[in-house]
Amino acid sequence: MTPDKQQRLQESRYQFPYHYIPDLDDDGNFTQVRTLRWGYEYLAYVRYVLAKLQALTFDTLLDAGCGDGRFLFELRKLFPEKELVGLDNSEQAIRFAKVLSPNAEYVLGAISNPVLLRREFDVITLIEVLEHIPPDSLAEVVRGLAGRLKPGGTLVLTVPSTNVTVARKHYQHFDRPSLEDVLRPFFTVEECWFINKKFAGVKWLECLLTNRLFILNRQRLLNWLYRTYEKRYLHAQPHTAKRLCALCRKPAAS
């Protein structure tokens, strides 16, 4: 193997920071693996939003509340020539994003800060963010989003549904009417899709994927489980959805 091939092989491994997987915690407990119980659900709705973005025409995109940059990482694969910017008020999250998804610009701060970003974008994405914002701050945040979007621009967002119990780290969940109330008067919800269907077998699926007894590593079975979920349970009705995805429009300049 030539040095160039060796280097390329090593670079390919750095798609994930695998050196961080084995760990000893503060209590001296060893772990060899890390899991995300709802990872299949996360990946499915990320892919859903990406498909919606592929139907849009844009040159610039701001991912507000970008967290560790995973969504921008996926965006860059699809849109190598677009201007992609991530914004988050967590310094730790921005540090992760710059390392794990370096092919984007990152800004530390709040969307409501009027002097933070002195430019407007064609599209803003807001993926699982609104539920983390205190209700008395929502109007200010929505105003900030509108201020960063070009007239006639598009806001694409996801939020947890009111069909799901509000998580401890969330302030509230949404249905379409309550989401429209929050976004008014700065945005009009043009389309709303209901995704991540609640179904009886979800506990069995999650036990197969994440448990203390074994690690499921049969690739064909893993692929079948995920594809089955995406085919049968990604799309939902208003009363069965765990999540809403909305395409919103800022009014065009008069």
Which stretch of 76-85, 108-117, 132-141, 218-227 has the lowest confidence by average pLDDT? 108-117
- ω into residue 185 within 30 of 0, thus cis? yes
Cβ atoms of 15 and 165 closer than 8 Å = no
In a domain, 9, yes or no: no
Instruction: Tell me the average pLDDT across 50-67.
Output: 97
pLDDT-based confidence at 2, cuts 50/70/90? Answer: low
In a domain, 12, yes or no: no
Q: Which percentage of the chain shows pLDDT scores above 70?
A: 94
The CATH number for 49's domain is 3.40.50.150
H or E segment and range at residue 121: strand 121-127
Instruction: Tell me the average pLDDT across 174-182.
Output: 97
Instruction: Tell me the average pLDDT across 219-227.
Output: 94
**Which residue is associated with the tokens 């084995």?**
22
Residue 147 has what pLDDT? 94
- 115: containing domain: 36-249
Kindly report the average pLDDT of the chain as a whole number: 91
In a domain, 208, yes or no: yes
Could you read off the pLDDT of 123-162 as tens digits, one per residue?
A: 999 999 999 999 999 999 999 999 999 999 999 999 999 9
pLDDT-based confidence at 51, cuts 50/70/90? Answer: very high
Which stretch of 23-27, 118-122, 144-148, 228-232 has the lowest confidence by average pLDDT? 23-27
Instruction: Tell me the average pLDDT across 70-80.
Output: 96
In a domain, 101, yes or no: yes
Nearest to 176 by CA among 196, 198, 156, 191: 191
In a domain, 51, yes or no: yes
pLDDT-based confidence at 86, cuts 50/70/90? Answer: very high
Q: Which pTM does this prediction carry?
A: 0.90
Q: What angle do CA 239, 70, 63 make, to 5 degrees?
A: 75
In a domain, 1, yes or no: no
Residue 215 has what pLDDT? 87
Counting other chains too, the contacts that 138-141 makes at CB distance below 8 Å and 24 or more residues apart are: 138/182, 139/182, 140/112, 141/110, 141/111, 141/112
Count of domains for the chain? 1
| 6 pLDDT higher than 60 | no
Spatial separation of the C-alpha atoms in residues 213 and 200, rounded to whole Å: 22
pLDDT-based confidence at 195, cuts 50/70/90? Answer: very high
**Which residue is associated with the tokens 């990406």?**
50
